[in-house]
Chains A and B, each alone.
Chain A
Amino acid sequence: MDCRERASQVSRASGRLRVEGASASLAGAAAEAGRTTSPGQDCRAPTARPPERSGDHGVPASDGERGSGGTKSPGQEINRRAFLEQAGRFIILTGAASLAWDYVLAGTPQAAPNYVATDHWWGMIIDIDKCIGCGNCVRACKAENDVPTDEPGCYRTWVERYQVRPNDMEHPIVDSPNGAYDGFPEIDKPGDGVKVFFVPKLCNHCAHSPCVQVCPVGATFESPDGVVLVDKDRCLGCRYCVQACPYGCRYIDPRTHTVDKCTLCYHRITKGLTTACCEACPTGARQLVDLKNPADPVHEFMRTHKVHVLKPNLATGAKAFYSGLDGSVR
């Protein structure tokens, strides 16, 4: 499959996601999360882009372009048909989905007015010094994305607590009880000079993802905006991608028997919202970033902070950038 074919396939997938979301009118958890945006946090506006005009993407031409006259002309026939089409769309679909519908039908959902996938390159900044290990992000993620809470080993995100003794970086004591869903129990006696800190983890949305490489049917793919997604309708459940992920970010959903992982809340970020975990973080330790957006504060942050990625030796092109990452973290 060449790049163009793949991009088109991916676009179709992203289009599907968006239209479903749009028809749901940001119902439920997404709307709930939207209301709870803290003032200091960056809840991005959608990239506004006027729809391209006439013809190219199957958009009907305007009345003026078609002309009108007193006699019954083919143009009037088209007008009637266009009217019925429009009316039908608005009855069946809600406003946002209706606007995108032309583009979806034309096979170019990325051209829909509300989101242009290729204009973005998503990642995340995690500021270790700001994380307090409250587990809000884990709970928000599970609630937002319907991640099982009663099954072991199902986490799209989790938080680890490191205790590092002085001069013993190679043997940290690490825990993450229930992925920090309930936060952490207090440490009785951390010991003299022991360094304690929290490390939130999630899919690194690698630009050269080993998980994408190994999937035998291409059910796992990188979207044009840099998000690693899974098409559950294609996934065989062979678990090769789970083996290939160096960060332990994938699991098998016991309900669907397919692989599941962080989608970077794709249904939210394509509507201009931030992820559920970022939304719920009380200290702003996690920040969704768009590396393609020149106005994104990420560029300033990268300039002024020392950032690192996990397991850089594996050259996965990880896009979860950690500030203040300790060498003991694995």
Chain B
Amino acid sequence: MPGVDGFIYPNEVELQWSVLIVLYPFLTGLVAGAFILASLERVFNVAAVRPTYRLALLTALAFLLVAPLPLQMHLGHPERSFSMYLTPHRESAMAMFGFVYLWYLMAVLVLEIWFDYRKDLVLAWRASRGLKRKLYGVATLWSDNISEKALRVDDRIGRFITIVGIPSAFLLHGYVGFIFGSVKANPWWSTPLMPVVFLFSAIVSGIALVLLIYMALCRIRRVAIDMPCVDTIARYLFYAFLIDFSLEMLDLIHRLYEADESLRALDFMVKTRLFVSQIVLQILLGTLLPIALLAMVQLLRFSERTRRAIYAAAGALTLVGILAMRWNVVIGGQLFSKSFLGYTTYKMSFATREGLLPAILILILPFVILAVLIKVLPPWTGGGEEKPVKA
């Protein structure tokens, strides 16, 4: 059979989870990571990252809104997906994820953004006329109390929500890892480390994304990049990356040392079908190179301009590396037969429901939503003083 080496069970010819399912943990990870970055300022009082606080929240919301879309498009019967909420199977990790998602969206992100933006919304409501005024009225829930006392209460609630939000963000992405890690039929996935690895890779990718978006927006708005802010973010990215890489290496070393019967299949796969995506993209370009770049900044002195270039390169490489990691988990986990006696190939189509084109569109969509959110809820007003770019 073309594309098949050795023996696979006859039903394993077609890969069940496509590139869309690769996007699902990738997008969810970006959400969790962006939120963790936002919480640095709110809960841990890291004042330097304040310019990215609101941007990180809006980024998390934009990506969270899109996160279920690839899942939905992948379903054989998307019209039945709501039954996961109505008649969930409580033993199913996937069913419970629906509730974790809803909790995170409604009880954490939307609430926190609302409390943080309430003053801006009320001011906009007061200043606007006609339909716009009505819309802002709905957004404020017709409450225009922005007295100092009310704002203090808002701030306290916002802080509380962030504190609840941190374990929720951990839960959100840890749970995605659990969905894969709990499949005992698949040795590539089945490890208790999976949720932890997913979580730290999520933090890494979310921080890198917000760093890139912040730098890009500053460039677009012709505003000077707050260097202490990006230096701090880059430092946190470096630390998170070290933990993430250590965990991934621990997983790898454990597999190599334990060398159970699946290792032969996995070893072969990494050396052949996954060589480019795993060794080249994920480990060399997507992990070691950005770690080296970020380490250089920590150890050596560079000009602001060089640092900005390094951060942009490291951020972009990180995103490529984490996307490759998701690919290697989702697609890689399906390339070998559960008989461990053979391998199949993933043939990605282009303009089909689960092809490359919808995957690209899904990746673009959060940026469109973010642009709209930024227009409606400008994140800069609360971000401290901004300086124009020096000519």
Interface residue ranges, A against B (CB under 8 Å): 1, 152-155, 158, 160, 170, 172-176, 178-179, 201, 210, 213-218, 234-240, 242-252, 256-258, 314, 330
Contact = CB atoms under 8 A, between A and B. Distances in A.
A213 B334 CA distance: 20
Interface string B42-72: 0000000000000000000000000000010
B14 A244 contact: no
Contact of B89 (A155, A176, A218): A218
A60 B64 CA distance: 58
B7 to A, nearest CB: 4
Interface in B1-18: 6-14, 16-17
Given A217-B87, A218-B89, A330-B339, A236 B13 contact: no
B16 to A, nearest CB: 4
B77 A152 contact: no
B292 interface: no
Interface of B, secondary structure class, is: loop
Given A248-B339, A250-B11, A239 B16 contact: yes
B80 interface: yes
Given A240-B92, A252-B14, 17 more contacts: A152-B13, A160-B7, A172-B341, A213-B91, A216-B95, A218-B92, A234-B80, A236-B75, A238-B76, A239-B76, A240-B94, A240-B179, A246-B184, A248-B12, A256-B76, A258-B77, A314-B184
B83 interface: yes
Nearest to A155: B10
Contacts of A258: 76-77
A236 B184 CA distance: 22
Given A216-B89, A238-B74, A174 B339 contact: yes
Task: Give 7 nearest A-B pairs by CB, closest first.
Answer: A237-B76, A248-B9, A257-B76, A246-B185, A216-B95, A174-B7, A218-B89
A2 B216 CA distance: 54
Nearest to A246: B185
Interface string B342-359: 100000000000000000
Contacts of A214: 92-94, 183
Interface-central residue, B8, B74, B76, B183, by most chain A CB under 10 Å = B76
A2 B336 CA distance: 38
Contacts of B179: 240
A154 B75 contact: no
7 contacts: A1-B90, A174-B341, A217-B95, A218-B92, A236-B84, A238-B74, A244-B185
Contacts of A176: 7, 9-10
A153 B13 contact: yes
Interface-central residue, A172, A218, A249, by most chain B CB under 10 Å = A218
Given A179-B10, A247-B338, A236 B76 contact: yes
B89 to A, nearest CB: 4
A249 B11 CA distance: 7
B80 A154 contact: no
Nearest to B337: A248
Contacts of A170: 261
A237 B72 CA distance: 10
Nearest to B84: A216
Contact of A248 (B81, B92, B338): B338
Contacts of B337: 248
B98 A216 contact: yes
A153 B10 CA distance: 5
Interface in B232-270: 261
A236 B83 contact: yes
Contacts of B81: 236
B77 to A, nearest CB: 5
B11 A213 contact: no
A317 B240 CA distance: 41
A1 B337 CA distance: 35
A235 B76 contact: yes
A237 B77 contact: yes
B99 to A, nearest CB: 11
Contacts of B12: 153, 248
A213 B339 CA distance: 21
Given A234-B80, A236-B81, A155 B93 contact: no
Given A216-B88, A236-B77, A236-B84, A242 B339 contact: no
A249 B183 CA distance: 15
Interface string B1-38: 00000111111111011000000000000000000000
Nearest to B182: A214
Contacts of A213: 91-92
A152 B92 CA distance: 29
B380 interface: no
Nearest to B9: A248
A252 B261 CA distance: 28
Contact of B10 (A158, A215, A252): A158
A236 B98 contact: no
Contacts of A235: 76-77, 80
A258 B78 CA distance: 11
A153 B11 contact: yes
Contacts of B93: 214
A80 B47 CA distance: 86
Contacts of B103: none
A234 B185 contact: no
B114 interface: no
Given A236-B81, A246-B338, A252-B76, A153 B14 contact: yes
A215 B179 CA distance: 12
B75 to A, nearest CB: 5
Contacts of A252: 14, 16, 76
Interface in B263-283: none
Contact of A243 (B9, B87, B98, B183): B183
Contacts of A173: 7
